């Protein structure tokens, strides 16, 4: 009898050991993102760690570099369906336990959540590491990710209004090359056809005035054989195109000129909305200056840099994707170079985040999210099912006529006015404010 009990206990311990070993395989360690420069694999490990831990985080693989490294982006969306379901389950469970003292029954296997009918520009896109040697841009991008995920409670008001897509390493091949071979390397690592040279400047490879000006294959600023010749720029182009109707603010991180700049880069002329862009840049500058006294210069890219840059990502985002707000943030500093020492990473990351956070808040106010004007009308003027159906048909017709642009520039009620009786609109205001 004791022999049987001993055998049974041994089997039980074996099962427990197996289950624990399976659990350990699921645990993803957390790299230290605040006080050192992570390698590309460690960065991807950190993104995986966040995705496993938080229901409002999703990691996307945008493509692969020439050397087959994954180019990943992290999406932080507090209002995602997955996170809202989790919050609702937690709230229901807490309420039920407060009343009964027992756990609630499990929810039905599938519930059809009513999707929001609102269309808005509420997405912030941040990219870093376009130039391989600018390690501090990747550290700052990771600091932004850290603040929006691990410190999400203190940034709840920001997350409640805005979605974020952050690409911390746009040029993974070049970044890894700077660790192993040449710390001053700037370009990617794809060989140039019919030459012995390697690498293209990813910030000269976008299809916006790409053809302007010469570009020598021997230069650090070589623009490539054609627009989007590089897998990295094609990957960024695809995600921008996919989210173009929702993008509110595009921010490209570079170093080390200590300035916040807006388009254009290809010429010294200013865009029509330059005053709005300058106001946004000044917001970031003032926030950083108030924090530690560091002074950032503000102006257009071509004027501040004293050169014309063709095929840049910011010009492409602003001119082709038509993101309302697009800036370049050149991080500190002249004395520290592209790769500041480890003790400077956290201070620079923190001060940069304060400026970026304030710019995101102001961006939301400068270009407020726009409802589909049809929804505004339906909620304010349509009183019958027939009128609602008529407005929906008119909305579909206009959407087909303008498939790639938001309708916020043309108030929907101008098109829908003949469909609505005068007595419905009498003494009724229809605010379509965009």
Cα–Cα distance, 420 to 293 (Å, whole number): 57
Per-residue pLDDT, 48: 95
On whether both 395 and 333 belong to a single domain, the answer is: no
Contact predicate 302/267, CB 8 Å = yes
For residue 1, the number of C-alpha atoms closer than 13 Å in the C-beta half-sphere is 0
Q: Which position has the higher pLDDT, 416 or 267? A: 267
| 204: helix, strand or coil | helix
In this prediction, residues 91-110 reach a mean pLDDT of: 58
Question: Which range has the top average pLDDT, 21-30, 244-253, 367-376, 393-402?
Answer: 244-253
Asked whether residue 100 is assigned to any structural domain, the reply reads no
Per-residue pLDDT, 413: 39
Per-residue pLDDT, 82: 87
Judge if the upstream peptide bond of residue 256 is cis by omega within 30 degrees of 0: yes
Local structure of residue 210 (DSSP, 8 states) = T
In this prediction, residues 329-341 reach a mean pLDDT of: 93
Asked whether residue 416 is assigned to any structural domain, the reply reads yes
Q: How many domains in the chain? A: 2
Q: pLDDT tens, 58-83?
A: 999 999 999 999 999 999 999 988 88
For residue 251, give the CATH number of its domain: 3.40.630.10
> CB within 8 A of 20, min separation 6: which ones?
none
On whether both 352 and 383 belong to a single domain, the answer is: no
On whether both 214 and 349 belong to a single domain, the answer is: yes
Asked whether residue 112 is assigned to any structural domain, the reply reads no
Cβ neighbourhood burial of 368 (10 Å; 0-12, 13-18, 19+): middle
> CB within 8 A of 198, min separation 6: which ones?
187, 189, 190, 191, 192
Q: Which position has the higher pLDDT, 27 or 50? A: 50
Judge if the upstream peptide bond of residue 74 is cis by omega within 30 degrees of 0: no
On whether both 350 and 378 belong to a single domain, the answer is: no
Asked whether residue 294 is assigned to any structural domain, the reply reads yes
Per-residue pLDDT, 411: 42
On whether both 354 and 296 belong to a single domain, the answer is: yes
Q: Which residue in 127, 330, 358, 375 is the catalytic one?
A: 330
On whether both 344 and 388 belong to a single domain, the answer is: no
| 284: helix, strand or coil | helix
Contact predicate 206/314, CB 8 Å = no
Q: Is the pLDDT of residue 159 over 80?
A: yes
On whether both 320 and 177 belong to a single domain, the answer is: yes
Cα–Cα distance, 282 to 358 (Å, whole number): 10
Q: How does residue 261 score in pLDDT terms, banded at 50, 70 and 90? A: very high
Contact predicate 321/244, CB 8 Å = yes
Asked whether residue 87 is assigned to any structural domain, the reply reads no
Per-residue pLDDT, 381: 43
What is the overall mean pLDDT for the chain?
A: 81
On whether both 253 and 402 belong to a single domain, the answer is: no
Q: How does residue 100 score in pLDDT terms, banded at 50, 70 and 90? A: low
What tokens were used for 375?
């929804």
Q: Which position has the higher pLDDT, 389 or 66? A: 66
On whether both 325 and 378 belong to a single domain, the answer is: no
Q: Is the pLDDT of residue 349 over 90?
A: yes
Per-residue pLDDT, 47: 96
Contact predicate 379/296, CB 8 Å = no
How crowded is residue 324: how many other Cβ atoms within 10 Å of its Cβ? Answer: 18
* Lowest-confidence pick of 29-33, 177-181, 230-234, 282-286: 29-33
Q: Which position has the higher pLDDT, 105 or 213? A: 213
In this prediction, residues 382-403 reach a mean pLDDT of: 53
CA quadruple 253, 255, 258, 261: dihedral, nearest 10: -40
β-pairing, 123-127 with 70-76?
A: unpaired
Local structure of residue 251 (DSSP, 8 states) = E
Question: Which range has the top average pLDDT, 107-121, 317-331, 420-434?
Answer: 317-331
Q: Is the pLDDT of residue 111 over 60?
A: no
* Lowest-confidence pick of 184-193, 202-211, 369-378: 369-378
Q: Which position has the higher pLDDT, 262 or 89? A: 262
On whether both 287 and 140 belong to a single domain, the answer is: yes
How crowded is residue 70: how many other Cβ atoms within 10 Å of its Cβ? Answer: 16
Asked whether residue 73 is assigned to any structural domain, the reply reads no
Kind and range of the H or E run holding 423? helix 422-425
Cα–Cα distance, 163 to 75 (Å, whole number): 7
β-pairing, 259-262 with 247-255?
A: unpaired
Cα–Cα distance, 101 to 115 (Å, whole number): 33
On whether both 377 and 286 belong to a single domain, the answer is: no
On whether both 158 and 231 belong to a single domain, the answer is: yes
**323 is in which domain, residue-wise?**
123-366
Asked whether residue 4 is assigned to any structural domain, the reply reads no
Q: How does residue 390 score in pLDDT terms, banded at 50, 70 and 90? A: low
Per-residue pLDDT, 123: 95
> CB within 8 A of 209, min separation 6: which ones?
266, 267, 310, 311, 315
Among 327, 346, 366, residue at a domain's last position: 366
Q: Which of 300, 124, 149, 128 is nearest to 202 (CA)?
A: 128
Q: pLDDT tens, 414-429?
A: 444 444 333 333 333 3
Q: How does residue 152 score in pLDDT terms, banded at 50, 70 and 90? A: very high
Per-residue pLDDT, 72: 97
Task: Please indicate whether residue 150 is annotated as part of the active site.
Answer: no
Asked whether residue 327 is assigned to any structural domain, the reply reads yes
Among 315, 337, 366, residue at a domain's last position: 366
Per-residue pLDDT, 215: 83
In this prediction, residues 29-52 reach a mean pLDDT of: 92
Per-residue pLDDT, 118: 43
What tokens were used for 294?
């560091």
Q: Which position has the higher pLDDT, 19 or 247? A: 247
Beta strands in 256-340 (DSSP E): 259-262, 297-300, 325-331
Q: What percent of the chain has pLDDT over 70?
A: 72
In this prediction, residues 311-330 reach a mean pLDDT of: 96
């Amino acid at each position: 009898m004791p022999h049987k009990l001993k055998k049974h206990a041994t089997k039980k311990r074996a099962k427990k050991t197996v289950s624990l070993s399976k659990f350990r395989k699921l645990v993803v360690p957390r790299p230290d993102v605040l006080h050192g420069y992570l390698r590309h694999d460690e960065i991807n490990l950190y993104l995986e760690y966040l995705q496993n831990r938080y229901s409002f985080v999703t990691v996307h693989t945008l493509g692969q570099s020439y050397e087959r490294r994954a180019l990943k982006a992290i999406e932080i969306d507090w209002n995602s369906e997955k996170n809202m379901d989790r919050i609702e389950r937690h709230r229901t469970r807490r309420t039920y336990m407060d009343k009964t003292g027992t756990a609630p029954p499990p929810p039905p296997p599938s519930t059809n959540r009513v999707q929001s009918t609102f269309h808005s520009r509420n997405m912030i896109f941040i990219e870093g590491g376009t130039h391989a040697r600018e390690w501090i841009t990747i550290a700052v991008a990771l600091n932004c990710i850290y603040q929006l995920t691990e410190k999400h409670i203190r940034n709840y008001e920001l997350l409640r209004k805005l979605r974020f897509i952050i690409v911390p390493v746009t040029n993974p091949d070049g970044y890894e090359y700077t660790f192993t071979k040449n710390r001053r390397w700037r370009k990617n690592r794809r060989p140039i056809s019919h030459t012995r040279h390697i690498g293209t400047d990813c910030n000269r490879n976008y299809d916006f005035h790409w053809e302007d000006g010469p570009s020598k294959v021997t230069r650090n600023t070589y623009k490539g054989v054609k627009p989007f010749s590089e897998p990295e720029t094609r990957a960024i182009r695809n995600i921008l195109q996919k989210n173009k109707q929702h993008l509110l603010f595009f921010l490209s991180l570079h170093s080390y000129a200590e300035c916040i700049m807006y388009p254009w880069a290809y010429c010294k002329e200013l865009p029509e909305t330059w005053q709005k862009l300058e106001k946004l840049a000044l917001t970031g500058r003032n926030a950083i200056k108030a924090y530690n006294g560091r002074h950032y210069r503000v102006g257009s890219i071509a004027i501040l840099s004293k050169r014309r840059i063709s095929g840049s990502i910011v010009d492409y985002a602003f001119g082709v994707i038509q993101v309302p707000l697009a800036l370049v943030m050149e991080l500190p500093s002249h004395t520290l170079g592209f790769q500041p020492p480890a003790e400077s990473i956290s201070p620079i990351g923190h001060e940069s985040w304060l400026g970026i956070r304030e710019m995101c808040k102001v961006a939301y106010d400068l270009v407020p999210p726009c409802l589909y004007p049809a929804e505004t009308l339906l909620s304010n003027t349509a009183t019958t099912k027939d009128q609602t159906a008529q407005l929906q048909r008119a909305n579909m017709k206009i959407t087909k006529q303008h498939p790639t642009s938001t309708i916020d520039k043309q108030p929907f009620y101008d098109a829908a006015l003949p469909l609505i009786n005068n007595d419905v609109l009498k003494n009724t205001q229809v605010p379509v404010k965009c």
